[in-house]
Amino acid sequence: MTTETSILLPEARVDLFIKDKETIEAARSLQNDWRFARVTISIEEGDVESAISAYTQASSPTLVLLETDVTDDSFVGRLEALSAYCNEGTNAIVIGPVNDINLYRHLTSIGVSDYLVKPVPLATLAEIIAQSLIEKLGAVGSRMIATIGSKGGVGTSALTQALALGISENLDQKTFFMDAAGGWTSMPVGMGFEPTTNLHEAVKAAASKDFDVLDRMLFKPNEKLSVLAAGSEAMLEPSVQAAQYEELIDMVMASYPVVLIDLSGAIPSLKRMVMNRAHEIMIVATPTLSSLRAARTLMQEVKVLHGGSISNIDLVINMEGLMPSKEVSKKDIADVLEIKPSVTIPFDPKLFLTTENEGKKMNQEKAGRELIERLLPVAQSVLSSVPLAVKGDALDLGVIGSFLSKIKKG
């Protein structure tokens, strides 16, 4: 079942001070849940007193879950004592022995986010923690990488396909990969599938938020990689529009930590929308005058889209050595383009055409594995960055407010 909380949760720390065996088991299982990959969960057998002594020593987390056997005023007093040691942003959930609506009302009125009755089953625990983190931090976990050529035929798709294998296999990230080229796509040959659908069908599934239909459109080359098996539309059929494609992006961003989009072959309005939203952009160019000139213009336009910054652009020079005497040197490229190429890929027709013709994946060849290694830093830089909303000072206290701020007023 897919629910609103079926997304990769934002980076957060959750501490549990609990004693109930079943609930402890459930909390341990959370660590195997893909949604919690970026959530650090620590479980201590204890109660509100253990929490107080923990936070006199160390800073409090995003969310704390406390089990209690007593539910009278003395417990509320201990919660108050705890709040003195908690950061502004810490939320609290209480797990108690009995179902008591008055207690629930009282606790929530003083700033506790929720009250649950033990034992808390795994599904409930996962759902409540996920809801609390999403409400507080927003769904900021996913990262979008877009790739684009400075002009046609520079190898954008071939390199993006290699990158998709690298992110999913070498970096072990659950990845969604699609292009926007419609009938012009080279993905079926590059990734080895028969198109079973097209972009028009995919955006239709997104418009009706139909995860099951979208799921049936996927080709899965490995455990972590899902590729949209599109490309069955006629080449001369009109493209899907940017707003429709954006709905599709929103849908996949909600359930995949990494979304990789190949923009070579997309219409300009679609390229613009995707690059506007992308966390990282890989621009591919060849070391030739015409390609580099277009790369410079493209970079300037992207810079404007991103408020004057080019920090999230990686320039990849492809097919180095195709015609050495006529190529622009590395130094001249850096001078003209403001940034140094992050990666340079040699012209290697044997590798590219062999894998293409024989339907092999890049990583089945030694040279292909080396190429993937070279490309990986492009993805690594964006995947290791901390989502804005959880960076210390920028912490958004959110609509529900924090445990501390409310309890102090109470």
Ligand X SMILES: Nc1ncnc2c1ncn2[C@@H]1O[C@H](COP(=O)(O)OP(=O)(O)OP(=O)(O)O)[C@@H](O)[C@H]1O
Interacting residue ranges for Mg ion, rule: CB under 5 A: 157, 264-265
User: Per CB under 6 A, which of residues 319..338 are in contact with ligand X?
Assistant: 319
142 binds, among ligand X, Mg ion, none (CB under 5 to 8 A by kind): none
Q: Site size for ligand X, by CB under 6 A?
A: 19
Tokens 């404007």 found at: 304
CB of 345 to ligand X, least distance (A): 5
Beta strands 218-222; 313-320: pairing state: unpaired
Segment near ligand X (CB under 6 A), from 24-32, 191-199, 241-249, 349-357? 349-357
318 binds, among Mg ion, ligand X, none (CB under 5 to 8 A by kind): ligand X
Pick 63 or 162: Cβ nearer ligand X: 162
CB of 409 to ligand X, least distance (A): 58
Tokens 């069908």 found at: 201
Segment near ligand X (CB under 6 A), from 46-54, 124-132, 154-162, 291-299? 154-162
CB of 147 to Mg ion, least distance (A): 9
Is residue 152 near ligand X by the rule CB under 6 A?
yes
Which three-class secondary structure string do you get for the chain? CCCCCCCCCCCEEEEEEECCHHHHHHHHHHCCCHHHCCEEEEEEECCHHHHHHHHHHCCCCCEEEEECCCCCHHHHHHHHHHHCCCCCCCEEEEEECCCCHHHHHHHHHCCCCEEEECCCCHHHHHHHHHHHHHHHHCCCCCEEEEEEECCCCCCHHHHHHHHHHHHHHHCCCCEEEEECCHHHCCHHHHHHCCCCECHHHHHHHHHCCCHHHHHCCEEEEECCEEEECECCCCCCCCCCCHHHHHHHHHHHHCCCCEEEEECCCCCHHHHHHHHHHCCEEEEEECCCHHHHHHHHHHHHHHHHHCCCCCCCEEEEEEEECCCHHHCCCHHHHHHHHCCCCCEEEECCHHHHHHHHHCCCCHHHCHHHHHHHHHHHHHHHHHHCCCCHHHCHHHCCCCCCCCHHHHHHHC
Is residue 356 near ligand X by the rule CB under 6 A?
yes
Single-letter residue type at 254 = A
Is residue 349 near ligand X by the rule CB under 6 A?
yes
CB of 277 to ligand X, least distance (A): 20
**Residue among 62, 83, 186, 239 that touches ligand X (CB under 6 A):** 186
Q: Are 137 and 396 in contact (CB under 8 A)?
A: yes
Is residue 352 near ligand X by the rule CB under 6 A?
yes
Pick 43 or 375: Cβ nearer ligand X: 375
Is residue 104 near ligand X by the rule CB under 6 A?
no
Is residue 153 near ligand X by the rule CB under 6 A?
yes
Q: Are 61 and 14 in contact (CB under 8 A)?
A: yes
* Residue 121 CA: distances (Å) to CA of 26, 104, 125, 306, 388: 6, 19, 6, 45, 32
Is residue 187 near ligand X by the rule CB under 6 A?
no
CB of 191 to ligand X, least distance (A): 12
Shortest-Cβ-distance residue relative to ligand X: 155
Window 263-302: contact mask with ligand X (x via CB under 6 A): -xx-------------------------------------
Is residue 173 near ligand X by the rule CB under 6 A?
no
User: Per CB under 6 A, which of residues 45..84 are in contact with ligand X?
Assistant: none
Pick 85 or 352: Cβ nearer ligand X: 352
**Residue among 39, 65, 154, 316 that touches ligand X (CB under 6 A):** 154
Is residue 157 near ligand X by the rule CB under 6 A?
yes
Is residue 345 near ligand X by the rule CB under 6 A?
yes
347 binds, among Mg ion, ligand X, none (CB under 5 to 8 A by kind): ligand X
Helix 73-83 / helix 48-57 crossing angle, nearest 10 deg: 10
Pick 157 or 173: Cβ nearer Mg ion: 157
Is residue 347 near ligand X by the rule CB under 6 A?
yes
**Residue among 155, 166, 257, 387 that touches ligand X (CB under 6 A):** 155
Residue ranges that bind ligand X, judged by CB under 6 A: 149, 152-158, 186, 264-265, 318-319, 345, 347-349, 352, 356
